Amino acid sequence: MKYFNQKLIGIVTKHSKEFVIKPHLESLGLKVHVLNEIDTDLLGTFTGEIPRELSAFENAKSKCLLAPNSFPFVMASEGSFQSHPLFEDLMVNEEYLVLYDRENHHFFRARKVFAKSNFKQAKITGINEFEDFLTEIGFPHHGVILGEDGDFVKDIQSKSKWIEFFHNEMTNSDKQQVFVQTDMRACNNPTRMKNIGELMLEFLASLKNQCPSCEAPQLELVKVQEGLSCSWCQLPTKSAQAKLWKCWKCHHEVWEEITELENPGLCQWCNP
């Protein structure tokens, strides 16, 4: 893309997210540098040693602003985990990707909520229960963290070492239980890394949706017009028959007409 071609971009990440981000940025013509020396943990950690004060989106923006001014473009991401609004037992993973255009002070972004997550926390009272926990979260491919209240053990890949630490914690714990949780850092959680990679593909497609007037990336959806006809009954449905896109830079507007008919399964008349 002309907008990005041969421009310098820095990826701000401590946790190896460049593996699912860098190739796609290079496909846009960008020259990519990984800025893994920036301590993004200062903005908050999943385990809470440092509380995160901002939303996931604002945190991703803040990460971009930590990069040196010599980078005209900066990329960062942030994730969070919370209960599904309808199914409390289901933990979902919300991910944001943000690309900062320093010259125009504009943040391109993408967001998605994933039902696929192995987020789990538990208070464990015995070795067998701990081994079941490790199996359930997918250890050793997925990491585990042991402890609480700022006293954590992380980054151990050996099951025997974990059992040794668990035994020591149980011996030293007045409550005779140990708090364990999945390591949700992307470098130690392939499930989350895959989610970020999937979102990156969608982000790439949205960046390629350029303004026909000034060629700025990522037109913004500002209006949806309902009324797409059903392929069976021909009546108007609640699905979009047209979308209005607007350029964030020159404010040019583009109407996108949707020509195909809607699936009867999504028609409120055929499938009330």
List, in order of start, the domains of the chain with CATH numbers.
8-117+189-207 (3.40.50.10150), 121-182 (3.30.1490), 220-266 (no CATH)
**Buried/exposed code over 53-85 (b: 16+ C-beta within 10 A; e: otherwise):** eeebbebbbbbbebbeeebbbbbbbbbbbeeee
Tokens describing residue 248: 């964030």
The whole-number pLDDT of residue 173 equals 66
The DSSP bridge partners found for residue 96 are 78, 111
Average pLDDT of adjacent 10-residue blocks, the chain of 272 residues = 96 97 98 97 90 95 97 97 83 97 98 95 91 94 88 87 84 79 95 98 97 97 97 97 98 96 96 92
Q: Are 188 and 194 in contact (CB under 8 A)?
A: no
Q: Are 146 and 162 in contact (CB under 8 A)?
A: yes
Dump pLDDT digits (tens) for 133-185: 999 999 999 999 998 887 888 888 888 988 888 888 787 767 678 899 999 99
Q: Is 221 helix (H, G, I), strand (E, B) or coil?
A: strand
- Separation between Cα atoms, residue 232 and residue 226, nearest integer Å: 17
The whole-number pLDDT of residue 168 equals 81
- Separation between Cα atoms, residue 207 and residue 5, nearest integer Å: 13
Amino acid at 25: L
